Amino acid sequence: MRLLFKCCCLFLVQVIVNNSVTAQVNLNSGQVPSTENNWSLKYPYWGEYYKTPISEIRAATWINNDTVVAGWDWSLPANVKPASKSNLCIARNGGLNRGKIENLPAVNFPCNPVIAHWVNWSLLEPEEGKINFQPLIDNIKLANQKGYKSIVRIHFSATSFAPEWMKKYNIPIRKENSKNPPKVTNYEISHPEFHKRYLRFIDALGKSGIPQMEEVSGLFLGYASPSFGDEGIGPYPESMAGANDTIPHVIERIDSWAKACKGVEYKVTMGGLSEYGLRKGFGIRRGFVEMYLYHIPDEHIGQKMDANNYLYVDESNPIIARNVYNGDENEEYEERWATESRLYRFGKTTVSYPYRYFTSNLRLLQMRCNDLLVNEFALLPEMLAWVGINMGKTVNDAPDAWCFLRESYLKENGGRPVKNFERWVYQRDMPGYETVPAVKIEQAIQMWMVQPGKYYDYVSREGKKIGFDVEDKWAGLKDSVAIKVSFFDTHGGEMNLVYTNGKKPDKKTVKLNGDGKLKTTTFFVGKIKENSLPNKYDFALEAGARTEKITISIVRVITIK
C-alpha cells in the first residue's frame, strides 16, 4: 500500500518486509510535536492528514503471489469492475453555472463518478408557471461528456430556495424543533398553496424527461429541515417509524415522484425513511457516517446485533435484499471542521481524520451502501478506490468479502460492546477460539451514542486461534481465493492459515518478528472446503507452537477466478 504523508522535512524510505512488496512512506526529519498534534503517537497506523486530489488517486497494485507488505492493503485484481448500481459522488455543482462542470477532474480508478446538481427551485421557475429545465439538462449532458453521471437534487422548502413569487401566497413559516439556530427559514410546506405548486413542479419534472435520462443516475426526494438540503421525508423524525406514512401530503408527494419517475423509480432516494416510498421502489439516503457508530442497532436499515453483541446485517431487509438506492455521506474532512465556526465537530485538530475516514469507509460498506458522497480529495486514496469498486456489489458478485475485527461500547445497557464490521466474513468466538479486543485507539470526540468513559475503539482481536466463516452464498469461495490478513506483529514466531483443501487439512505459514508493526500478509489458496473446520469454520488463523498469540485487524477473502 502507498501512504502519502505531507510533512515539513521529507525523505523517502522504502519499507521492505520479507523481500516482498514495498510501501512508500514519508517520514519527519526528527522533530516530534506535542501528543495532541502528533498523528504518529495517537493514530500511528493511518498517517498524517494529507488531501490527495481525485485526479491523483490510483487503485492499489495487485500482486499475484504470496506477500507481506507494510500497512494496509486495499488491492483487488485488475479485472474487477464497479457495479452498475453504484454512485461515487465526488463533486457538487451549486446552481446552474457551468464552470465547475467544465473543470471536472479526470478519474483514474475504477468507479462510477457522479456529480450532484444542487439547484434551487427559484432558478428553474423564476416566473410562476414558466418552468425551464433546459439549463439543467445542458449541464447534465456536459457532465456526461466529462465522464460523470448526474444526481439531481432540487431544493424547495426554504424561503431562499423557493421562487420569489411564492411570497404573495402568505404561506406561514415552519416551526423548527432544533437545539441549534436553524441555517435556513422554511415555509410550512404542508400548506395547500405551497403543496399545490410543488406537485405541479414535480409533474413538469417528469414531463421534462430528466428522470429517464441515461445520464441521470439519481434524484433526491426530501422534505424540510433547519439545515441546507431539504432533509427528511415528512414532518416526523425518522425515529418515529411509520408516522410520516400517515400524513396525506407526504403520501401525495411520494406519489407525484413515483409518477414522474415511472420506470426508473430505483433512481429516487429519499431523505428519510418511508415504508410507503420503499414499496414504490425508492431508496434511502442518510448522511452522517462520519459518526461511524450511528444506527447501531437499526432494524429499519437491517443493522442488528446478536446475543453475543456482534453487529450483523439482516440480508432480508428490503433495502438490502432489493439493493435499492442506499446512500450516505463521508465528507466532513476539510480543515474547517476543526474550527470554532463548525463547533470543532471532530476535535480541534485534523490528527484523527485519517482514522475516522478509514473507519467510516468500512462502516458504509458494512451497511451495504451503493451511493456515497465524498470530498474532491481522499485522505486514504487507495482505500477510496477500493470503496468505489465495492459499492453496490452483492453477495452474488462481490470481488471480496471481509471482516474488520473491532470493538466499541454503546451507551445502551450501560456500555454494551459492539463487535466487528463484517461483509460476508464472520468471526465468532467458540471454545478453543476465544479472542479479546486489542490495540486501543482513542476516539476523536465524545460521540453521543458511546458509553461515557469509553470513548475509544479497539481495532483488532487477539487470541491463540481465531476462526472465520465465509457466507455460504458468496460466490467467490467456489474458486481459488487470496486471503489478505492485516495484523499487528506483536509476538514473534509464526502465524498459520489453517483450512481444508477438499481432501486433507492444509496450512500456510508467515513468520512474525514481534516488532509491533502493522502488516498485511497475502495467502493464495486453492479450493477451500466449506465448513470443514471445528465450529463449521471455513478457515482459521492460529498462532504457531512457539507463538503466544496473534493480533488480527482485517481479513479479506478475494476471488481470483
What are the start-end ranges of the H helices in 272-344? 275-279, 318-321
The pLDDT of 183-208, averaged and rounded, is: 97
Confidence of residue 239 (pLDDT cuts 50, 70, 90): confident
Contact 194, 171 (CB under 8 A): yes
Nearest-angstrom CA–CA distance, 406 and 277:
34
Give the closest residue to 362 by CA, choosing from 324, 390, 381.
390
Residue 100 inside a domain? The answer is yes
pLDDT tens digit string along 327-338?
Answer: 999 999 999 999
Residue 503 is predicted with a pLDDT of 83
The secondary structure of 444-471 as a DSSP string is SS--TTBPTT--EEEEEEEESEEEEEE-
Q: With a cut of 70, say whether residue 14 has pLDDT above it.
A: no
Burial string for 255-284 (b: 16+ CB within 10 Å, else e) reads ebbbebbeebbbbbbbbbbbebbbebbbbb
Q: With a cut of 90, say whether residue 527 has pLDDT above it.
A: no
The secondary structure of 478-511 as a DSSP string is GS-EEEEEEEE--SEEEEEEEEE-SSSEEEEEEE
The pLDDT of 194-222, averaged and rounded, is: 98
The pLDDT of 523-546, averaged and rounded, is: 95
Give the closest residue to 430 by CA, choosing from 308, 557, 556.
308
Residue 179 is predicted with a pLDDT of 78
Residue 35 is predicted with a pLDDT of 52
The pLDDT of 474-498, averaged and rounded, is: 94
The pLDDT of 293-305, averaged and rounded, is: 95
Residues 57, 290, 484, 49: what is their CA dihedral angle, to the nearest 10 degrees? 50
Q: With a cut of 90, say whether residue 417 has pLDDT above it.
A: yes
pLDDT tens digit string along 438-480?
Answer: 999 999 999 999 999 999 999 999 999 999 999 999 988 888 9
Which H or E run contains 387?
A: helix 381-390
The residue assigned the cell 414504490 is 280
Quote the cell numbers at residue 344: 470543532
Q: With a cut of 70, say whether residue 484 has pLDDT above it.
A: yes
- 333: domain CATH number is 3.20.20
Percent of the chain topping pLDDT 70: 94
Of 83-87, 201-205, 236-240, 293-297, the least confident: 236-240
Domain range for 36 is 11-70
Do 374 and 489 share a domain, yes or no?
Answer: no
Looking at the DSSP bridge assignments, the partners of residue 416 are 410
Domain count along the chain: 3
Residue 18 is predicted with a pLDDT of 32
Do 371 and 454 share a domain, yes or no?
Answer: no
pLDDT tens digit string along 151-173?
Answer: 999 999 999 999 999 999 999 99
Nearest-angstrom CA–CA distance, 543 and 432:
12
Residue 503 inside a domain? The answer is yes
Residue 468 inside a domain? The answer is yes
Of 24-38, 108-122, 226-240, the least confident: 24-38
Q: With a cut of 80, say whether residue 108 has pLDDT above it.
A: yes
Give the closest residue to 25 by CA, choosing from 515, 44, 108, 349.
44
Residue 78 inside a domain? The answer is no
Q: Is the peptide bond before 297 cis (omega within 30 degrees of 0)?
A: yes
Confidence of residue 177 (pLDDT cuts 50, 70, 90): confident
Looking at the DSSP bridge assignments, the partners of residue 461 are 437, 552
Do 39 and 128 share a domain, yes or no?
Answer: no
Do 441 and 552 share a domain, yes or no?
Answer: yes
Confidence of residue 392 (pLDDT cuts 50, 70, 90): very high
CA 115 to chain centre: 17
End of a domain among 398, 427, 446?
Answer: 398
Query: Which residues are CB-neighbours of 142 under 8 A, at least 6 positions away?
Result: 98, 101, 102
pLDDT tens digit string along 51-75?
Answer: 999 999 999 999 999 999 999 999 9
Do 319 and 271 share a domain, yes or no?
Answer: yes
Average pLDDT of the chain is 92
Give the closest residue to 428 by CA, choosing from 388, 461, 473.
461
Do 147 and 50 share a domain, yes or no?
Answer: no
Residue 77 inside a domain? The answer is no
Do 203 and 255 share a domain, yes or no?
Answer: yes
